[in-house]
Each structure stands twice: as structure tokens, then as C-alpha cells.
A = this chain, B = another copy of it.
Amino acid sequence: MSTTKKARTQPPYELLYWPSIPGRGEFIRLALEATGTSYTDTANASKDGIQSMLALINPEATIDADGNPPAFAPPILRVPGEGKNGKSLVLYQTPSILAYLGDKLGLAGEDEIEKQWILSHMLTALDLNNEAHDTHHPIASQLYYEDQKEEALKKAKDFRESRIPKFFGFFERVLKGNEEGQGKFLVGSKLSYADTTVWHVLNGLKFAFPKEVEAREKDYPTLFETFYPSVQEQSGLKEYLASERRLPYSQGIFRYYPELDRQ
């Protein structure tokens, strides 16, 4: 975590998520890291850190000591001093946290119009993220992959053949339509949380479906030859991605099952 001037003027952001996997917490980490913002990744910072997160999703909770509603699921963002009566603010839902941080960290465009487009594109990237998850868990999140493998093979086929080209084609067209972004930014001429979100989903798909993505990359040259390498070279992100804070993929949203990839 950097200690730039900007970081010191921000409140002590706390990210609460499952430890050891990138997961949906990664979209929040990328927004914070891209702006050199200091934060605590509680469940990864100490062995007991996960307890803070579990307390917030306690299935008996109705309201916390600071007046916040319960959280349905992580990621959760806690911001000391920014809640009701100067207490802590607790937010959940990835898009909600990104919208909040986007405003505070300058990742939400130049005006209200760009802000709405950035929100829309981010939501679309998260839809792709969710569909990628469902390829290995089409029946039930709580069952093992092995217990829904037959269905996963069918779901992954549709995902690879219909959904991947639909989403890739869409983002390619958004990039092409945004001339001032020169292929590097989805909206306007500077980095937004839509860019970091789309980038991470592409990165995850390259891990989970390497053959499929490799076979299709050439059809989306702006997305894969300009946008993708440009985002990961952004100051803040480049250092983060080379650091130990960037967690490896394993048994989270993006999983590598060779049988689900293109054969």
C-alpha cells in the first residue's frame, strides 16, 4: 500500500472479504491500488481478520453498533467517520462500493454523464464475471463442482460459444466508439473503475479459459492489443500486479478446469 500524499488525505478504508482469493474483492482492490489509496485488507492482514467480516454477514444481524444495515455478502467496505453521526459507514455489493469509491478517488469520469456510463459498463463486466462463475457452478454454489460437472460442461459450452463473443464484441465497440480514449479507456480519456473491472474479468478469463480466449483475441484487437496491456501498465496497477498483494487464482470465481475450456 502506497503512502502518497493522496493516500494520507483519505479515510482509513477497510476492505472486508474472504481471505486468500482475488474474488469479488479484487474489483475493490484494483480501484484502491490504481489511485495509490491506502487501505486495510482485513481478512488477509491477520489470521483473525476474517472474524470482522463474518460478524458483518452474521445471519442474525439486523443493525450494527454504528447504525448500518446488515450486509448480504462480501465484499464489504468500512469507512470510519463517514457514516451516520460521524460513525463508521458500512457498504456491501461490489457495484455499490465501486460507485462510492469511484466518486471519492476520481475513477468515475469527468461529469454526471460519464459517471452513469462508467457505472453501466462496470455492471456489464460484473455480469460477465458472474456468468464465468456459473460455468463451474450452474446448479448450486454450495455443491462441489464435481457434483454438477455434467451441467457445467453444457453451461461452459454456451458461455464460450455465445456469451464470451457477445461481451467481448460489446466492449470492443465501446472502446471504438470512445475516440478520445484511444482504445485505452472505455469512457473519456482517463482511467475509470469500469476499465479496471473489465481488465480483471479479461485477466480471469485468460486464466480460466486460456484456449478459448487465445482463439478469440484477434477478433477484438482494440480490447486485447490496446486496452488490456494499457490498463495493466497504469501507474499503481503495474506495481500492485507485480506485488504479493495480488493473490493468485485458485478455487474462486475464475478456476481452470481444462474440460470446460475449448477442446
Q: Whole-angstrom distance from the CB of A106 to the nearest CB of chain B?
A: 17
A119 to B91, CA, bound (A): 10
Q: A62-B173, A69-B187, A72-B170 are in contact. Are A139 and B158 (CB under 8 A)?
A: yes
SS class of chain A's interface: helix, strand, loop or mixed?
Answer: helix
Residues 71-97 of A, flagged 1 when their CB comes within 8 A of B and 0 if not, give: 110000000001110000101110110
Q: Whole-angstrom distance from the CB of A201 to the nearest CB of chain B?
A: 13
Q: Which segment, of A9-17, A46-54, A120-128, A213-221, faces chain B? A: A120-128
Question: Quick one: closest B residue to A176, CB to CB?
Answer: B62
Binding site for B on A (CB under 8 A): 59-63, 68-72, 82-84, 89, 91-93, 95-96, 99-100, 113, 116-117, 119-121, 123-124, 127, 130, 134, 138-140, 142-143, 148, 151, 154-155, 158, 162, 166-167, 169-170, 173-174, 176-178, 186-187
A/B interface sample: 19 pairs, CB < 8 A: A62-B173, A63-B178, A69-B121, A69-B174, A69-B186, A69-B187, A70-B170, A70-B173, A70-B177, A72-B127, A84-B113, A89-B113, A95-B95, A95-B119, A130-B130, A138-B155, A139-B151, A139-B154, A140-B154
